[in-house]
Structure 1
Amino acid sequence: MDKYDVKKTHKRLYAPSAKDFTIVDVPEFRYLAVDGHGDPNTSPAYANAVAALYGVAYALKFTSKKTLDRDFVVAPLEGLWRADDPNAFVARRKDTWDWTMLINQPDWITDDMIRTSAAAVAKKKDNPALESVHLLTLTEGTCVQILHRGSYDDETPTLDRLHNHYFPDHGLTFNGDHHEIYLSDPRRTPPEKLKTVLRQPVKAV
């Protein structure tokens, strides 16, 4: 049985250079998603959202393999981050952030499968975020991205370079939410070794 792995199928999108910004075209993807607000380091809603996403993702993997004979690697956690002022990201004003946490899904996963898997997980563990897990279809199109190595809080210089230097030098501006892809498990990886894809949808000024 072939095992689908989005990181291998779309390697260019999940393994960018850490040296320079690159422009990519991101096609339509489908995600498990949960929306929320606030500092991810302190918000119980954020912790519940991440736990719910992983719980449902692994339940879907099991169901897909058992009932459809189609297996896949559970994709890394991703996040869409937004704020009224984009400088909130550079300044790390986390209490003002809205977020949508994501896990990429193969195109054969359906809404019904997600609802059934979320209900099965809810029987085993009480988590209010399970009721909010939904399927999100997202087409980001033209994006600029780079691989960040190090602590999440050390992203500021890279984001400042992107927003205040790369954008004006290339005639670009924002065209969607700031997107992060967490390639490392922060529970097992020292902060200085974390790998995170920083992605920003863009358009010409």
Structure 2
Amino acid sequence: MKQIHRDLYVATTTPRLIDVPDLPCLMLDGSGAPSGEPYLDAVAALYGVAYAVRAELKPVMTYSVAPLEGLWDGDPDDLSSMRWTALIPQPARVDAALVERAVETVRRKRPGTRLDGLRLGTMSEGRSAQILHKGPFAEEPATVKTLMEFITGQGLSLAGRHHEIYLSDFRRAAPEKLRTIIRYPVR
């Protein structure tokens, strides 16, 4: 995905407008804090299925699994109130039958992985504004403020959910080394 849609994964600390095409994605919905068990289980399930899909497609195409992304809404001051959709974009040739086979592979290889609700869906954002946030998630409000000022300065308004693209693995990287693209669809 990063090879095909390179501009979607390149951002700087200066906000900019981009056009996001409709993208097929593995998706799982939930609620609660991003550090909570439901979210971490969703991340594990998505990666398991994404790698199983890639393994099945390996004879016909090679690609890197795209970064984890999240669509968020709720009160950022009360993380337990957050509603989210965790997702990983997929190549265009991925279909529901392939995803179902990949889910069954993960079920066999990793019993206990919570796969209920995992689906292949389409993320549709279109015109969007994005910015790169460097550092801990707790420091994101200042970056979001910069992005919001840019959006209003362009005479635009929000047209979708808060979107984060995790360029760093938050489970492994030190908080000060995290790199996250923050994106909002606009109109």
2:89: which partner in 1? 104
1:125: which partner in 2? 110
2:68: which partner in 1? 77
Residue correspondence of structure 1 range 186-205 to structure 2 within 5 A: 186-203=170-187
Rounded Cα–Cα distance in structure 1 between residues aligned with 2:152 and 2:27: 32
TM-score normalised per structure 1: 0.86
User: Gaps spanning 5+ residues in structure 2: where?
Assistant: none
User: 2:68–2:165: 8 Å Cα contact kept in structure 1?
Assistant: yes
Question: CA shift at 1:29, angstroms?
Answer: 0.5
Percent identity of paired positions between Structure 1 and Structure 2: 40
1:3: which partner in 2? none
2:32: which partner in 1? 38
SS state at 1:71 partner: coil
Structure 1 residues 20-67: Cα deviation after superposition (integer angstroms, max 9, x where no partner): 1100110111100000001011x211111001001001111111114x
Could you tell me which amino acid in structure 1 is paired with residue 3 of structure 2?
A: K
1:63: which partner in 2? 56
Which portions of structure 1, spanning 4 or more consecutive aligned residues, are displaced by more than 4 angstroms? Answer: none
- The alignment's C-alpha RMSD in Å is 1.4
In the comparison of the two structures, how many residue pairs are matched? 187
Rounded Cα–Cα distance in structure 1 between residues aligned with 2:185 and 2:173: 28
Determine which structure has more spread, i.e. the larger CA radius of gyration.
1
Q: 2:8 aligns with which of 2, 6, 13?
A: 13
SS state at 2:12 partner: coil
Question: CA shift at 1:14, angstroms?
Answer: 0.4
Structure 1 residues 156-176: Cα deviation after superposition (integer angstroms, max 9, x where no partner): 11112333x333322221101
Structure 1 residues 164-198: Cα deviation after superposition (integer angstroms, max 9, x where no partner): x3333222211011110001112332111111110
Whichever structure has more strand as a proportion of its residues is 1
Whichever structure has more helix as a proportion of its residues is 1
Deviates more, 1:190-199 or 1:165-174: 165-174
2:176 equivalent to 1:185: no
User: Gaps spanning 5+ residues in structure 1: where?
Assistant: 1-5
